[in-house]
Every structure is written in structure tokens, then in C-alpha cells.
Amino acid sequence: MKPIEVRLLSRSDVLSLDLTPSQVVEAIERALAEHAAGTFEMHPKIGVHPTGTDPANFIHAMPAYLKQLGACGLKWVAGFARNYQHDLPNVTGLQVCNDTATGIPLAVMECGYLTGLRTAAVSSIIARECALPEARTLALAGCGFEGTMHLRFLVDQIPGLREIRLRDIRPAAMQTLKEQAGQYFSGEIRICEDNRTCFAGADIICTCTNGDEQLLQPDWFRQGAFAVGIEGGCAFTAEALHSADKFIVDDIPLAEYFDRISRDRVTEDGKPDPEFPGGLPEVYATIGEVVTRRKPARTSATERIVAIPIGMAICDVALGQLAWTKAAERGTGQMFRLT
Ligand SMILES: NC(=O)c1ccc[n+]([C@@H]2O[C@H](COP(=O)([O-])OP(=O)(O)OC[C@H]3O[C@@H](n4cnc5c(N)ncnc54)[C@H](O)[C@@H]3O)[C@@H](O)[C@H]2O)c1
């Protein structure tokens, strides 16, 4: 039998691949197109929930297969929002890429950084499709890891932006992101002391928080605006979420599953903490359907559009294949003799 060798990629190996926003967006758009075409296999994330520090803790298993791309694998990813108390990231985990012809594992890689890239790419793609063409103002709440990645991708995909408003409960996080963003964005960057100043009247709203506070009020969500939240719908009040004229998700079975399992979820202090406040709104389209023009994105200058990407394993698999292929070409990482 031939020996099997697996490529191991640490976070710094993945970073050294210098994946650009356009390369990542291209890989993610291929996955979204396969989602719309139905040429994939994916299941709602199954998981375990060690609730030690927070009832919302999870570790999810996310297998997926993309038939046209010929990519398959599994992400085993944890989200522990209180990890900052131990100077550790919120999202951590491993991703395995498998060969679709033989099933053998080809690579095992750190998946936290890749998750940031894929989530930011998905949000920025759907923002590009749904925001008004004349959108100039972006309000970003949550300036942690995902917020930082999102800002880079949103600026890349929406070149018309002129003003960025940042909001976080940690002033240092806003200041750090402001300084970083100043290196690639030439417009105005404002630090906001409250949610109203950040959100009210913004053309594009993006929430990347890890708290359980419902931030977005309906009267701050102006007509013609687009909003995307990556915490499920948890950062929106029920009224803001249900005020949307069009409601978009990445995958309907995934959204329905998270709606179902979170209906009785409560925060540490006993407050209801559903994935979609007020229940799952009626879904207009999936992100894949919009990106492939199966369904039109914006059809009026006044409609409010909300997108909630829960996070699809097919996107991780597409990005994992890009990372693995680049790493193999460059000889990045270490080989582990499996058999
Ligand atoms: N949908 C997806 O595909 C997907 C993928 C990855 C992560 N996530 C989610 O994204 C969220 C952010 O993850 P992260 O890795 O960036 O976490 P992080 O801890 O690095 O950043 C979260 C930031 O939110 C800030 N914050 C908390 N409460 C806030 C509030 N009330 N107002 C403003 N800011 C607030 C924190 O201070 C922190 O800076 C988590 O909820 C995570 O589960 C979703």
C-alpha cells in the first residue's frame, strides 16, 4: 500500500498564503452558485454545547461536498464568546480536506482565520448585490475578529463607500480597527459612542457582535438600507428584523434548524435568546439565488433588505480547497505520515 501523507497547516501557514479578498470572493461565489444549482451535499450543523461559561457555547461538525468543484471535507469549529477572558479567540477549530476520488484526508488546517475570510466574503457579496448603488455609509457593530475581516471585504466589494461608522462596547477595539482601516480606506471613519449614532440613517448595516444585546431598532433602519448580521438575527430587535421587505438567508434548512433549536434558549441571566427574535421571517431568497440572478436582489430604492448568513460548510470546503491547493503548490506547512 502507498503511504498516506497529510498536509498540516497552522494559522501562520494559512496567513502566509496571502489569500486576497478577490481570490476568496471567487471561491465563495463558486460555492454559492453550486448551492443555487443544488449540486452539493450539506446538512444543518450538528453540535455539542458545553455550557461551562455561556449557554450559547457550541462546537459544530460541518461536513460538505461540492460536486462541480470536486471538493469535500469537514470543519469542526467551536464558538465560545467568553474566551476573551482567557485571552483566547471566540472561534477556534480544525478543517479537514478530503480527496473526492479516494476519500483520503489531504490536509488538516486551522480554521479560525479561514472562517473569518469566508464569513466576510459571504456578507460582502450579498451586500454588494443588495445595497443601493449609491450607498455611501456603512455602520459596523462589533469590531472584533469578524468585524475586522468584514470591514476589509466590504470596502473591497463596495468601492462607493465614503463613510464608516464603528461601534463596539470596547473603545480600544474601535480605535484599533479605525487605525487599521485607515491603511486601506481613504474616506471618513467615525467612532460612535452609542448604537443610534452608528446605525441611524446608514445605507449598509453590518453586525458582528458576540453579545446577546438586540442592537438594531426599527426606526434606525432607514428605507432603502441593507443590513447583514452574522449572529443569526440576535443583534436585531424583532421589530427591525421583521420590518424587512426582503429577508434572505444562506440556506433555508439551516435557518429553520437554528430557529427551531433556539426557541427556548435563554441567556445567562435568563432572558430569551432566540436565533431570530420574533421567529424566522418569511424567506424571500437564498444568497446563492440572488448572486446567480435566479431571484432579483433589490427591486425598489426604498425597500429594506436583511440578510442573515448562518454559515455554510460548502463555503468552508471551497475555501479550504483553495488554501490547500496553494499550500501544496508552495510546499507550505508540514507533512504528517498518516499510514
Ligand atoms: N454566521 C457565521 O457564519 C459566523 C461565522 C463566524 C462567527 N460568527 C459569529 O460572529 C460573532 C463575532 O465573532 P468574532 O470572532 O468576531 O468575536 P470577537 O469576540 O472577536 O468580536 C466580537 C466583538 O463584539 C463586541 N461586542 C459585544 N457586545 C457588543 C455590543 N452590545 N455592541 C457592540 N459590540 C459588542 C465585542 O466587544 C467584540 O469586540 C460571534 O457571534 C460568532 O459566533 C458567525
Specify which residues 97 forms β-bridges with. 73, 107
Query: Average pLDDT by consecutive 10-residue portion of the chain (339 residues)?
Result: 97 97 98 98 92 83 98 97 91 98 98 98 98 98 97 98 98 98 98 98 97 92 98 96 97 96 85 93 98 97 98 98 98 97
The pLDDT of residue 55 is 78
173 lines ligand 1 (CB under 6 A): yes
CA of 139 to the centre of ligand 1 (A): 15
pTM as predicted? 0.97
The pLDDT of residue 333 is 98
CA of 100 to the centre of ligand 1 (A): 34
CA of 311 to the centre of ligand 1 (A): 14
In percent, the amount of the chain with pLDDT more than 70 equals 100
Q: What is the largest CA-CA distance in the chain?
A: 66
Q: What share of the chain is helix, strand, coil (3-state, %, to 5)?
A: 35, 25, 40
Q: What is the pLDDT of residues 224-268, one digit of tens each?
A: 999 999 999 999 999 999 999 999 999 999 999 999 988 988 887
The pLDDT of residue 43 is 94
Single-letter amino acid code for the residue at 175: Q
309 lines ligand 1 (CB under 6 A): yes
**Cα separations in angstroms, 99 against 73, 102, 175, 216, 262:** 8, 6, 44, 43, 35
Give backbone dihedrals phi and psi of 15, rounded to 5 degrees, phi first. -60, -35
Domains annotated on the chain, with CATH: 5-114+314-337 (3.30.1780.10), 132-310 (3.40.50.720)
Among 209, 234, 254, the mutation site with the greatest number of ligand 1 atoms within 8 A of its Cβ is 209
Q: From the alpha carbon of 84, which atom of ligand 1 is closest?
A: 19
The pLDDT of residue 316 is 98
The pLDDT of residue 285 is 98
